[in-house]
Structure 1
Amino acid sequence: MTKIALGSRHEAAQPDCLKALVVEFVTTFLFVFAGVGSAMAADKLTGDALLGLFVVAVAHAFVVAVMISAGHISGGHLNPAVTIGLLFGGHITVVRSILYWIDQLLASTAACFLLKYLTGGLATPVHTLASGMDYLQGVVWEIVLTFSLLFTVYATIVDPKKGSIDGLGPMLTGFVVGANILAGGAFSGASMNPARSFGPALVSWDWTDHWVYWVGPLIGGGLAGFIYENFFITRSHRPLPSEEEPF
């Protein structure tokens, strides 16, 4: 059974960690910029809800695939739910996970502030539950969608026995993000990503239903990482040490 690795506070000063944080910030910034920007463009240019949803889904699918590939130095998480999924699988320490979370939230906020400025003050659309949806339904939607995302990440990128799909992981992950937005966008908003929801909420100062987009994705991501790592992966090497290093 995989144990969570705590890491050390000195990890933050290590060159490889600093480089990873810079890359994670850049890729998350560009992901949110394109993702939120596509939603703003859809709101501005079309009154067709279905067309708008399709545009947002395609934009997210493309940018996720590219930014995961471009962010190979940091792992291209782009998402606190991905980070917690990899934490529960023993692939990243608690210390680095916290640093990644801070990084992702700052990048999302910066991207949304820039979008607000570049669009002449247009509102950054926030994730909220559709009319008629209750909180439990929203949380379950986000759990299932994020579980799907992390299960795909593990199966196509993390699993050492991915076989013929080796190298296709970022593209396939982008596909599942796009598909999930088409499936859940009209109901929960299909965030799957607390950072993606946080930036627009902060810039617009609209926290309606916001907690749903933390609880659902973090449960779904953590559960998928734990299940896949412990039940489907056979490894010949040891995971990160579970003991905390001396401070």
Structure 2
Amino acid sequence: MAMNRIAIGHSGEASHPDVLKAALAEFISMLIFVFAGQGSGMAFAKITGGGEPTAAGLVAAALAHAFALIVAISVGANVSGGHVNPAVTFGAFIGGNITLFRAMVYWIAQLLGAVFASFLLQFSTGGIIAGAFAPGEGVGAWNALVFEIVMTFGLVYTVYATAVDPKKGNIGIIAPIVIGLLVGANILAGGAFEGASMNPAVAFGPAVATWTWEYHWVYWLGPFVGAGIAAFVYETFFIAHNSHAQLPTLDQ
């Protein structure tokens, strides 16, 4: 069972040079992803004068996030495994592919990267602030929670199938593309309803910048539940190994 492979690790990991390098890689990857992804939405708002959301804006956001995530995963893959998402890190932990102490270092780096990107965007745009994630009109918090669970399940399941599974073969080469495309598709599906975060750090940055926390729990609970389920399912039914190493790099 996947739960039997969970490893806590030891506190010394937090100061190990390799872990710190991996954390820096996660910070930079998250900065790249949030700056481009959130920046695209802010650019659209500026072009339209803050007008109502449109289908074109949704497509632009989906493409920007997909492209940025492909790059962010690729540049971090050889150092940290290219998680770029606290939920992906949580899924890796549930599956026994990363220790708890290493995961906590990753989470701190990812959150700091998202916050730094949000304030950097605010400064670069002359004071424009990206809005915090929240359910759309007519969508309740529990509806949004289901969206986040389902979409993040698909995301982490895809990560396992293309980047973690030791049987992945040559598919690992295109893992960042496949993962990025799924995120873009999920934004097209859920963006109009609740923002389609699938990533607690992506929601955390704007929440800190705007100090808006009303629905923030949705964008933590949903991704973590979805990621945990995906990791448990894939590890239990499709992987037969016992490893506590970081997510495999794409060239393995």
How does the TM-score come out when normalised to structure 1? 0.93
Are 2:240 and 1:207 aligned? Answer: no
Range 173-182 or range 29-38, more displaced: 29-38
Question: Could you tell me which residue of structure 2 aligns to residue 104 of structure 1?
Answer: 110
Pairing partner for 1:17 from 19, 24, 28: 19
Taking only the aligned residue pairs, the percentage that are identical comes to 53
Which structure 1 residue ranges, 5 or more long, are not aligned? Answer: 242-247
1:126–1:206 Cα contact (<8 Å) kept: yes
Range 148-157 or range 158-167, more displaced: 158-167
Q: Using the TM superposition, give the Cα deviation of residue 240 of structure 1 relative to its aligned residue in structure 2, in angstroms.
A: 2.1
Question: Could you tell me which residue of structure 1 aligns to residue 248 of structure 2?
Answer: none
Question: Could you tell me which residue of structure 1 aligns to residue 75 of structure 2?
Answer: 70
Which amino acid is the alignment partner of residue 222 of structure 1?
G
Question: Could you tell me which residue of structure 1 aligns to residue 36 of structure 2?
Answer: 34
Question: Could you tell me which residue of structure 1 aligns to residue 89 of structure 2?
Answer: 83
1:24–1:78 Cα contact (<8 Å) kept: yes
Which structure 2 residue ranges, 5 or more long, are not aligned? Answer: 246-252
Pairing partner for 2:124 from 103, 118, 127: 118
Range 60-69 or range 159-168, more displaced: 159-168
- Which has a greater percent of helix? 2
How does the TM-score come out when normalised to structure 2? 0.92
Q: Using the TM superposition, give the Cα deviation of residue 99 of structure 1 relative to its aligned residue in structure 2, in angstroms.
A: 1.0
- Cα deviation digits, residues 176-235 of structure 1 (max 9, x gap): 000000000011210000000000111011223111101101100111111111111233
Tell me, in whole angstroms, the C-alpha distance in 1 between the residues paired with 2:39 and 2:125.
9
- Cα deviation digits, residues 105-164 of structure 1 (max 9, x gap): 111111101100110101212211011111211100000000010011011111111244
Which amino acid is the alignment partner of residue 82 of structure 1?
V
Question: Could you tell me which residue of structure 2 aligns to residue 58 of structure 1?
Answer: 63
1:39–1:125 Cα contact (<8 Å) kept: no
Are 2:190 and 1:184 aligned? Answer: yes
Tell me, in whole angstroms, the C-alpha distance in 1 between the residues paired with 2:67 and 2:114.
18
Tell me, in whole angstroms, the C-alpha distance in 1 between the residues paired with 2:170 and 2:39.
34
Which amino acid is the alignment partner of residue 52 of structure 1?
G
Range 204-213 or range 53-62, more displaced: 204-213
Tell me, in whole angstroms, the C-alpha distance in 2 between the residues paired with 1:35 and 1:25.
15
Range 34-43 or range 160-169, more displaced: 160-169
Question: Could you tell me which residue of structure 2 aligns to residue 239 of structure 1?
Answer: 243
Tell me, in whole angstroms, the C-alpha distance in 2 between the residues paired with 1:212 and 1:129.
9
Question: Could you tell me which residue of structure 2 aligns to residue 141 of structure 1?
Answer: 147
